[in-house]
Amino acid sequence: MGLRSLPSALCFEGMSDPADLTISEAGRLLRARSLSPVDLIEAVLARIAARNPRYNAFLSVDEDAVRSEARDAEAAFCSGDVRGPLHGIPYGVKDIVDVRGETTTCNSRVRGYHMADADADIVGRLRGSGAILIGKLALHEFARGGAMWDLPWPPARNPWDPDRHPGGSSSGSGAAVAAGMLPAAIGTDTGGSVRHPATACGIVGLKPTYDAISRRGIFPLAFSLDTVGLLTRTVEDNALLFHAARAPYNGGSRNERDCLHHLWDGIRGLRIGLVEHFYVSDVEAHSDFQAAMEGAVDVLRSLGAEVARIHLSPLPLWTACGQAILQSESYVVHEAWLRERPQDYSSDCRAKLLVGRFVPASKYLKAQQMRAVLIAEFEAAMREVDIVVTLSSMDPPARIDDRAEVARTYARHARMPFNLTGTPAMSVPIGLSAEGLPIGMQIAGRAFDEATVYRVGWAYCAASGSTELRPPMRD
């Protein structure tokens, strides 16, 4: 089956609606006083009103508070008090993230009335940058269930095809950005939950180094795997967002690297390791997805990178190790509620969480020991290359109402290895399948080297035009 070709790059002059602007485009216009923060926010709110009923990305929007913040930003720009590139930029957060004075429901009846008394660290940092929080975004229950219909809110849908799954568990974050309702969203990634919706929705999604972004104020799933992640339309936007969101690194300067400093340097001479066996022999990916990866690798080579195949342990070993840890740790979080009020969980979430009850301590400890071996293996491989690339998902997004196919395809991916290593990994779009559905490539690097991940991602996307792809929208 053939792949759809990528379009030539779009330019801002062809866009008439401010809601279509990226972070970098909107920021330049705001700082030049060519665009008002109030007008930008009104365009975003109008876009949400038009499209959210179809895609179910948002759980809540506080329009009064949003408009008040937009007026404050307008006054700041008029007085010359500009805080930085995110000042006046709208974003949303997965409803697992605390926002002072708002409920953090985790899309569950169990937490439906929990009121946060303080902002999560990432929300506080983005407030300090002048970014404007638009609202709370949909997710799979407690970041563990699937696209269930027995939850307080209906599941988010894929903007490329509303009958398809948008990926998860940060489903609303991916759908909102892909549908043009927001230029940026915050999600969480424990076993791929930012990179999955980024892949399925054709946008950019970064899982940074473990704890590069503070988890304070975010409801846990599995404490040794949980990572706060970022979803945007472009690689440059993602780097801008990461710069504002990351936590200070107390041990030195490696987490203080400006990811924009070398973003546009190109990749000539970089050594890229291709983990091809993950999606060719370990788990055989859809033929369109394998062909798209071949094309993406050709682009990287054409840009002057040295690409060579490398071998890691088989993907099923990584997956089994990660699942044993995730199942055990997530059950501990929910043990009391599962005993006292199991009926308040959706059927899928309850079943997935209860599996952890039957994971013996010996299996969990062996998984953590195996994790140490796998981390050492990855570190050894990274001494020979600057970056690694592999597929993200192995299949197109399933129909959202086909529970069996959603479950089957949900597990067919190569994202868990980088949760186990705790190292940065980013999904970027690399084209569309013959069905017109997005395909994503992962770019992964050494701990705290998000800068090189972004550099490779920007070079690929600039050469291919892949981040200019937009779903066919119907308001």
Annotated active-site positions, please? 94, 169, 193
d(CA 123, CA 140): 21
Token representation of residue 40:
């930008």
d(CA 133, CA 92): 6
| Entry field: residues in the chain | 475
Token representation of residue 266:
């190109």
90 membership: H or E segment, kind and range: strand 90-94
DSSP per-residue codes, 399-439: BTT-HHHHHHHHT-BS-HHHHHHT--EEEEEEEE-TTS-EE
Angle between the 315-340 and 347-354 helix axes, to the nearest 10 degrees? 110
Alpha carbon distance, N-terminus to C-terminus of the chain: 31
d(CA 466, CA 460): 8
- What is the side-by-side order of every strand in the sheet holding 90-94? 58-61, 132-137, 90-94, 184-188, 228-232, 204-207, 425-432, 438-444, 387-391, 271-274, 306-309
Give Cβ neighbours of residue 166 (< 8 Å, ≥ 6 apart). 55, 156, 157, 158, 159, 172, 174, 175, 178, 197, 200, 201, 397
- Taking Cα atoms as reference points, which of 152, 151, 145 lies closest to residue 170? 145
d(CA 182, CA 168): 18
DSSP per-residue codes, 239-289: HHHHHHHPPPPTT-SGGG--TTTTTTS--TT-EEEE--HIIIIISPPPHHH
d(CA 336, CA 353): 12
d(CA 467, CA 441): 12
